[in-house]
Amino acid sequence: MRKTVVELFAGVGGFRVGLEKSSREWDFVWANQWEPLRKAQDAYKCYVHHFGESERHVNVDINEIDKKSIPDHNLLVGGFPCQDYSVASTGAKGIQGKKGVLWWNIFEILKAKNPAFVLLENVDRLLKSPSSQRGRDFGIMLSCLKELGYGVEWRVINAAEYGLPQRRRRVFIFAFRNDTKYYNDYKNLNFRECIHSKGFFYSQFPISDEDGLSNQCRLDYKNIIEVSNQFSFKFMNSGVMINGYIYTESVQADYNGKYGLLKNILEGNVDSIYYLNGELGDWKYMKGAKRIERVSKTGHKYIFSEGKIAFPDPIDKPSRTMLTSEASKNRSTHIVNDPHTGKMRKLTPLECERLNGFPDNWTDTGMSERFRYFCMGNALVVNLVELMGKKLNKIVDYEE
């Protein structure tokens, strides 16, 4: 089986960087990146800067793409936005939420091209959304994959728990078509083996042998609209779906290697523009604990509260999760005490790239510095994809 890949919502190429680090055999036959509401398509320009101008690299809204025109491929990858995937009862594709339609684009591509394997990434709150009907959105996704003949395994992975310098927690979803050798072997495993010893994630991301809290159910609904209206379920941070049977378990990472530290990715001789100037009072206030009385639009009084964030950020630990707002002056922005100068400063764009495992100056391709931070706040940790790529190499080779 050829190692052909389609990359959706490609950003600056995180999936591609990770997979190509795992093996040069991956052939990216098509990639799509489109940033809505932005005239300057800087992420796409960064992608083609590194991977070349090509008719296979498409800067068009995915909603406008004829799914049958996408090249055949054996692996579909993408980190798609987490939105509301509720299916409206009027119309076959009714969606609540402007970006919810992006899942249905994945669904339509799977229907049209039927790749053997799928690897997706999202924020971990996907497993709990929406708050009014916990687990519904992920249940809809699993129902779609079941309908198309896929088995699924998922795991929430915190990069820092496997030796990387950022506490970035994301859910990875691996789907495999039911006519593959991999599926045929997988379906004969018991649920515990799938998660604790023989599944997709275990070999690269080991977990404690102890059993955690678990939950299970069966997707037994007439259609996806019925799932949208009725399904509610407590998903844990790992799980399996085979032939409509769902098993989920809360697991703990079991890593015995060397942990990544924020100080290990810091630059020396940082430009003075990154240092804090003047009084630190604003920063101390933003980072401090608060209890503030506020009034809602309806006149209801309530207490807004938030906990303290370390100021400056400790550099002898992994960093906090980097957000898209890293460039601005706000509570979530990282501030470190520079070990070379003893003065406090922000992280540089290059340091943010290192936190996600990108090569130095990957986004230094003509975009604004502010958007360089934004891209890294949106990106995945490519080291994790590299590890998954090593497992995928064996799986695809086995299909031969």
Distance CA 203, CA 374 (A): 32
Question: Is-catalytic flag, 217?
Answer: no
**Two tokens, residue 365:** 């391709």
Strand-pair category, 4-8 with 27-32? parallel
Q: Which of 46, 82, 217, 375 is catalytic?
A: 82
Give yes or no for a contact between 263 and 315, defined as CB atoms under 8 angstroms apart.
Answer: yes
Q: So which residues are the catalytic ones?
A: 82
